[in-house]
Amino acid sequence: MKEWILFRQSPKTRLPVLFPDEAFFPENSNPNVTKKIDELAKQTGCTITGSGYQDIYWGQLISSIAGSTHKITKIKGSSSYNVEDYGIALAKAHGAGLTLEEFDKEVASVDRISDEQRHKVIEEGDYLPSYMWNVNGWLCEKLGLTVKSQRQKCVPQTYKDDIYSSTLDMTIKAGDYSECKDANVVVITAGLPQKPGQSRLELAVANTKIVKEITEQVMASGFNGVFIIASNPVDLMSYVVSKVSGLPTSKVIGSGTVLDTARLRYLIAEYLDVSSKNVHAYILGEHGDSSFVPWDHAYVGCKKMKDVMKDGKHPMEDLDKIHQDVVNAAYEIINKKKATYYGIGMALSKIVKSVIDNDNSILTVSTYLKDGQYGQDDIYIGVPAIINSKGVRELLELELNKTEQEKLDNSCKIIKEMREQSIDKIINE
């Protein structure tokens, strides 16, 4: 509830009506002010009501649909509008003209407090939630429900060019690489998709040039946080960022086989009819066809995977088929959708959360091997590592059998050959 607009006299009933601007359930966002105005309205024979965009689209429309629906489990939607059209008060309330740091401090900081603290600042009138906050209360009242708790997340949007605001009478600068200076994490997902007939080396060369330029500009800002890389080929691109940035190798992490591992655990859990939370198996090596699973280090709960398969009279070949299904999953998705989005998005979210929350999760990220770790040196590859606010806290080295070591060696050989053919030259240009 931003402001109360006017008193209006009804020509038929001559009863005065008080209109708040699009705040037709203001009790949620400013109960104290609502109570005072309601008391004033009752003293003068007025009625508080609301009008406008929300009333139509988030009020009547949703309640009408809900009223004709047998069962509702979730209502989800989004709304956008140009704050330029709503005046200076609304533009400022939405953070127009603020830097990312100012936005985080003045607008988004309230998202990170407890529900009790949030209710307190709302009641004191020190916090104005979004319009959707109001609508949730109104909608739940229509459906005979009670709002037990709700929260919102304020996310700033930047634009690639400077924008002049007539409302604010100022030019709002576009976000640029300088904003990375104080960031804890920078995620690089940029890169070209592999074209039909294009070799992996050709793709690697094209994406090395892109990733190198981005890394140079991020570092020029003074960035000293953690890089997380998803650009493909991810093991190679992680190496590129590490060399170009000059940061400690622990602060450059590739998404590695985090997504592959999650898919593996899901399929094994489905096969054995257990929770995926109790499947402890990892895919190692290159994020690609040469990846492998060290089955001797795979467990279901506290029991070895091989023993589970033996006791259940399941052939071990079924596990190899599951791994192959994981390898083929990305190809199938790309064939149907032309790209992968959600799976890698969830994997990146997990890695970022581990860094931000400093939670010391064990993830099969693409990390730097040196001095004979896993028999390798000076290469990024997917292996288990402990991730926290510093990046890679510790690498977990597993004892591989002869076949598994050969597979890892082969993965690393492929990556190093591509580096020697073109990538190292581009890095050093």
94 has catalytic annotation: no
Give a three-class secondary structure readout of 271-291.
HHCCCHHHEECCCEECCCCCC
Helices 234-245 and 200-220 pack at an angle, to 10 degrees, of 30
Q: 23 near 134, Cβ under 8 Å?
A: yes
Q: And the tokens for 358?
A: 């400093």
185: enclosing H helix or E strand: strand 185-188
Q: Where are the alpha helices (DSSP H) in 193-341?
A: 200-220, 234-245, 258-272, 305-311, 317-337
Peptide linkage before 233 cis (omega within 30 of 0) = yes
Which of 215, 186, 240 lies closest to 351 in space, CA to CA? 186
- Looking up tokens 């926290």 gives 388
Q: What phi and psi, each to the nearest 5 degrees, are found at residue 9? A: -95, 120
Q: Which of 94, 287, 297, 323 is catalytic?
A: 287
Which of 290, 262, 295 lies closest to 364 in space, CA to CA? 262
Active site residues: 287
